[in-house]
């Protein structure tokens, strides 16, 4: 298997690897690039978007900067570029998984253009926010927007 590591890969501390893999792999669409089940660890990839999942274990070496109060990751969401959000939404709906924010089409100014994306927010089993987003293209920024 040919595999290229991303230059930035978040490592998320989780509580239950099996539950997290169900969410990240079965529902969102990541694949396991490699794992160490004996350590409660999996490295996931979705077309170059990568994340590491590590089961919280007080007996192992984990870099904690403070108490881990639920939900972890407050103040962050992980935008994941996908070709289309509808397949992900369909899997989540079939599983009865709630959305944190409904799907929307949103345009963001980036210099002298606006970049559009269809996006929504969903929380993983540990409360981390994911924002799958599909491109709607680019358009010139409106007057006074540059």
87, part of any domain = yes
Q: Which domain holds residue 136?
A: 11-57+76-140
pLDDT in tens, the chain (146 residues): 578 999 999 999 999 999 999 999 999 999 999 999 999 999 999 999 999 999 987 777 667 666 777 787 777 899 999 999 999 999 999 999 999 999 999 999 999 999 999 999 999 999 999 999 999 999 999 876 55
Residue 108 counted as domain residue? yes
Is cis: bond before 14, omega within 30 of 0? no
Tokens of 86: 């509808």
Is residue 28 within 8 A of residue 18, CB to CB? The reply is no
Residue 4 lies in a domain: no
Decide if 111 is inside a domain: yes
39 assigned to some structural domain: yes
| CATH number, residue 120 | 3.10.180.10
Residues 6+ apart with CB under 8 A from 72: 12, 13, 126, 127, 128
Q: Identify the sign of the CA torsion 20, 25, 30, 34.
A: positive
Q: Determine the Cα–Cα distance for residues 21 and 4; give it in Å rounded to an integer.
A: 21
The domain total for the chain is 1
Question: What is the dihedral angle through the alpha carbons of 58, 64, 67, 69, rounded to the nearest 10 degrees?
Answer: -90
Residue 43 lies in a domain: yes
Is 68 contained in some domain?
no
- List residues bridging with 117 in a β-sheet: 106, 135
pTM of the model: 0.87
């Amino acid at each position: 298997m040919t595999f290229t590591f991303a230059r930035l890969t978040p490592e998320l501390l989780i509580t239950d690897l099996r539950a997290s893999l169900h969410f990240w792999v079965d529902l969102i669409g990541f694949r396991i690039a490699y794992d160490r089940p004996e350590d409660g660890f999996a490295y996931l990839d979705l077309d170059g978007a990568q994340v590491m999942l590590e089961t919280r274990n007080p007996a192992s070496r984990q870099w904690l900067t403070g108490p881990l109060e639920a939900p972890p990751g407050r103040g962050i969401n992980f935008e994941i570029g996908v070709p289309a959000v509808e397949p992900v939404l369909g899997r989540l709906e079939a599983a009865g998984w709630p959305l944190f924010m409904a799907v929307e089409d949103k345009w963001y100014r980036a210099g002298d253009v606006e970049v559009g994306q269809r996006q929504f927010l969903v929380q993983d089993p540990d409360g981390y926010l994911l924002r799958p987003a599909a491109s709607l293209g680019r358009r010139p920024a409106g007057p006074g927007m540059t």
